[in-house]
Structure 1
């Protein structure tokens, strides 16, 4: 929490998750490098050691707060709660998932991107399009992380995620996860894909992906076991209501090979001596290498 009179963080991030501790380090460490300064992690009943990961990240000065959010199917309410908290700490706050990674091929600073609009008299939301990646031929989770392991995606972008000015949201804090209702007189701007895009690692190896059949956190998104909305973008095309792996799963959703973010991550983050990425190292070894 910022002390009264302290300047706000320029850029914060908020997410809600369930049992995704294994990928949290990569998500936080990578986006911290892009300029995210403060993290609001809403834990929707995880039992996979999420607090331990949050503690490790804090030991590395990543400024992570875990907030227990026990209510099932209440992601929108959680995000409204987060926006209210962020209002007092952050100029901008992004709402995106731990399988979504921003890629900025030109400037590599998410904080600089949004700060261009901090003093705008009209813009209160910045939207970025998403590209959905598939299993990319893999059958086991990639050891170096999703940004390196998954390199084949669907061609057309789908949906978007947003950064908002929390002090310029409508007083209702109404949202549908991807974006908020803004105060009257304020508007959204869309970022060109050549400037920034989100790599959404939506369709991972089957053992990881099938967890989505258990339940969804959003109020308006149908659980996968329910025989409803089978054509929704919140489902994988061609799957029914049973968590049964299709024989060709590892080859699905692969229309374009896209190694842009993989190449950037390996060039920027890999240790020169060991080849390890920061999220592959323990907190003690990471601290030692930092010194």
Structure 2
């Protein structure tokens, strides 16, 4: 007989109770995920609010009507218990025509506020927050002096343009009474406006900043953006702000949305105003800013990754807070029609007899800059790096850099630019010429130039490099130390390299 073995039932798996499972999750989640969360760089710097999304229904014709006085945009931020309000205009300080009206304040609804600072096409006032209610019209006040009276009564033509200010462009306010007097004149006129207050216009941004940003305004030639952005990504630019200047084709179709914000800015020939607007919003978003256009490529004596960023850090370590990049002017290489390809590959001739001329700038936004004049920027306590040599092919980081400007391209590009006009109201006093794209001007085609292949060689080496898709950011910790971080927008998990902190 087989020996009897005691019966042992099969061992059942132990089932955890619901409470023990919850306890396990509560214990393990902080252990695993908190170290990862501590490595996150935090939210990206805030995008610019759609300041102008509401304005087009007010004056639909305003974007192309730049010569007539108009309040076009604003910037608002808290200043102690008040709001610091900066209003931007066109047609108020058009020096090309000898017109420079005196702005003396801001009109918020029907209440005037004196100006605390005025610049060409820019007026700054302080307003109590209670005065800024939804849909309140905001505009600039002008003093009704002899200059304004003459313009209102004039039919004078200067350089083919109408100098007249029409009665609907300004509203003359009733003369102020003795009891209402303050620092403002008795006789004032309000400029017509395309701006009404919305709560999101108050810039209360805080937090992280990009290390190096690029700002430009663009209307034509969106096809230039792809190569331009690829080049500067490899040169160390972390983020781009492009002010869309009433473009015929939406610029968003030509850019990588991970690294750029397209800002609606519809008024023609208002580059100075858009630069000044960004000068106000940049300190909360960027540590350094370069103001280069899409046909301008910086040439530095260094082909390693992030060369522009390291060059700016190099000059900043020497104590410079505004760095000037002088133009190296390129000319047409014999093209009538616009060729397909990258500018550095197509145009290999530069002007003969290059001289030192104004270029563009990069700024340390930790300093106080007050006014952008297209090429130079005014500020408080700044130190400008201004090289006086023309090193057409810099060999090292110690050498001066150049800004290769493809200003004279094909005849077709020249015709298109002539049809639109210049970028600024300060430089558009000449009437447009009637040009035929099929009949090139022999003088333009014969522009004196000499071969220059120095930048194309550098371009090829740099553009063949890799872009790891990371955005460089800066965050200030509780001790006031600046921490540099990586942010990978294409990754499910944000990753960053070793945290590097240092005193500002």
Q: By the TM > 0.5 criterion, same fold? A: yes
Helix, strand or coil at the partner of 1:148: helix
Q: Which runs of 5+ in 2 are unaligned?
A: 1-43, 47-205, 466-489, 491-504
Aligned to 2:45: 2
- 2:435 aligned with 1:263: no
Helix, strand or coil at the partner of 1:167: coil
Higher Cα radius of gyration: 2
For the 8 Å contact 2:344–2:455, the answer to whether it is kept is: yes
Of the three residues 426, 436, 450, the one matched with 1:220 is 426
Give a deviation string over 1:131-180, Cα, whole Å, max 9, x none.
Answer: 1111112233342210111010113143211001233133xx31211111
Of the three residues 286, 302, 307, the one matched with 1:106 is 302
> What TM-score, normalized to structure 1?
0.77
For the 8 Å contact 1:86–1:166, the answer to whether it is kept is: yes
For the 8 Å contact 1:133–1:253, the answer to whether it is kept is: no
Helix, strand or coil at the partner of 1:139: coil
Q: Distance in 1 between matches of 2:289 and 2:459?
A: 24
Q: Which runs of 5+ in 1 are unaligned?
A: 227-240, 272-286
Q: What is the root-mean-square deviation of aligned Cα atoms in Å?
A: 2.3
Give a deviation string over 1:8-60, Cα, whole Å, max 9, x none.
Answer: 32211100111221111111111111111110100110012312113xx12xx
Q: How far is 1:83 from its partner? A: 1.5
1:266 and 1:224, CA in 2 relative to 1: closer, same or farther beyond 3 A? Answer: farther
Q: Distance in 2 between matches of 1:224 and 1:202?
A: 19
Aligned to 1:159: 358
Is the strand fraction higher in 1 or 2?
2
Matches within 5 A, 1:209-248: 209-213=414-418, 214-222=420-428, 224-225=430-431, 241-244=433-436, 245-248=440-443
Of the three residues 303, 313, 332, the one matched with 1:115 is 313
Matches within 5 A, 1:280-291: none
1:141 and 1:110, CA in 2 relative to 1: closer, same or farther beyond 3 A? Answer: same
For the 8 Å contact 2:272–2:374, the answer to whether it is kept is: yes
Aligned to 1:278: none
Query: How many residues are aligned here?
Result: 247
Q: Distance in 2 between matches of 1:215 and 1:253?
A: 24
Q: Distance in 2 between matches of 1:181 and 1:117?
A: 18
Aligned to 2:502: none
Aligned to 2:384: 188
Bigger relative contact order, structure 1 or 2 (CA pairs below 8 A, ≥6 apart)? 1
